[in-house]
Amino acid sequence: MSKHILIADDEPNVRLSYRMALEIEGYAVTEANCGAKALDELGAAAFDLAILDMRMPGMDGLELLAEMRKRGHATPAIVITAYGDVPHAVKAMQHGAIDFLQKPLTPEALRQIVTALLQRHAPEAAGRPNSQQAKDDFDTHIVTAKRLLNLQDFFGAKQHLIRALELDGNAEAFNLAGVLFEMQEDYDRAKTYYGHSMKLDQRYEPAQQNMRRIFELFNFGSSKEPFNLGE
């Protein structure tokens, strides 16, 4: 059964571009030209992923995402905008967005991102019976922690991160711990974990991006960097 993706964007040409990029990969696509229409579609069918434009009249992407969560829609969501900055990135992640992307977005980049995120959020990664969560290895705990962070299950994510750190206290694990604390607005701990990640691997870009964003946030600067969970 093909994955079902919702595209919410007020620009017809953008929706068409995204639809063509995804349907060629076999995904089923439903379009919504505004936030209200997107909520109607979410109430009428199940979706594996929602792609939300930041700038829509009436209800923007962040407002739509907040309303989705308020109504109990746990559909993984990507927020796409031409106005990327720190406050939007932080707010999007706090509402449970799993990525925050910049326009223009090429069809190939969109396909790659959607494929990676759908794989991460597949039932096997959801902690269901007979899933890979039963495996006590580093990669399994990291993947599960990322998914739980995206769902804002901070307690569950923390438990998997603790075990991942026990198994392999590497740069990726410490960076993800920093993301956990930053999403909970504990910026001092977040900086500590990002810093430790960078000490372990000075070339680990996700930790560098996350640390840079925190400093820019508190210096009232702006950045196009969302939370970088690492891959």
CATH of the domain at 160: 1.25.40.10
Task: State phi, psi for 80 to the nearest 5 degrees.
Answer: -120, 135
169 plus 210 within the same structural domain: yes
Instruction: Clarify whether residues 132 and 56 are in a common domain.
Output: no
pTM: 0.60
153 shares a domain with 96 = no
> What pLDDT shows up at residue 95?
63
**Mean pLDDT value across residues 180-204:** 90
What's the average model confidence in pLDDT over 74-103? 70
pLDDT value at 76 more than 90: no
Are 114 and 75 in the same domain?
yes
Comparing 213 with 24, the larger pLDDT belongs to 24
Q: Are residues 107 and 20 in the same domain?
A: yes
Closest CA to 90 of 3, 218, 200, 231: 218
Q: Looking at the structure, tell me whether residues 139 and 100 fall in a common domain.
A: no
Is 74 in the same domain as 165? no
Q: What is the mean pLDDT of residues 108-121?
A: 84
On whether residue 231 sits in a domain, the answer given is: no
> What does the alpha-carbon distance between residue 197 and residue 94 come to, in Å, rounded to a whole number?
22
Local confidence band at 222 (pLDDT 50, 70, 90 cut-offs): very low
| pLDDT tens profile 168-188 | 989 999 999 998 888 888 889
223 within some domain:
no
Name the pLDDT band for 62 (thresholds 50, 70, 90): confident
Among 29-43, 61-75, 105-119, 208-222, the range scoring the smallest mean pLDDT is 208-222
Residue 230 lies in a domain: no
Question: What domain count does the chain have?
Answer: 2
Q: Which of 82, 104, 121 is the last residue of a domain?
A: 121
Which of 19-33, 128-142, 153-167, 195-209 is predicted least confidently?
A: 128-142
pLDDT digits (tens, 9 = 90+) for 5-17: 999 999 999 999 9
Whether 44 shows a pLDDT value over 70: the answer reads yes
Q: Is residue 227 part of a domain?
A: no
- Whether residue 213 is contained in a domain is answered as yes
Q: Provide the domain limits for residue 160.
A: 126-218
Answer yes or no: is pLDDT of 125 > 80. no
CA–CA distance, 47 with 75 (Å, rounded to integer): 6
Residue 93 has a pLDDT of 64
pLDDT attached to residue 131: 42
- What is the C-alpha to C-alpha distance for residues 68 and 43, in angstroms, rounded to an integer? 10
The yes-or-no verdict on residue 224 having pLDDT over 70 is no
Whether the predicted pLDDT of 223 surpasses 50: no
- Cβ atoms of 167 and 200 within 8 Å: the answer is no
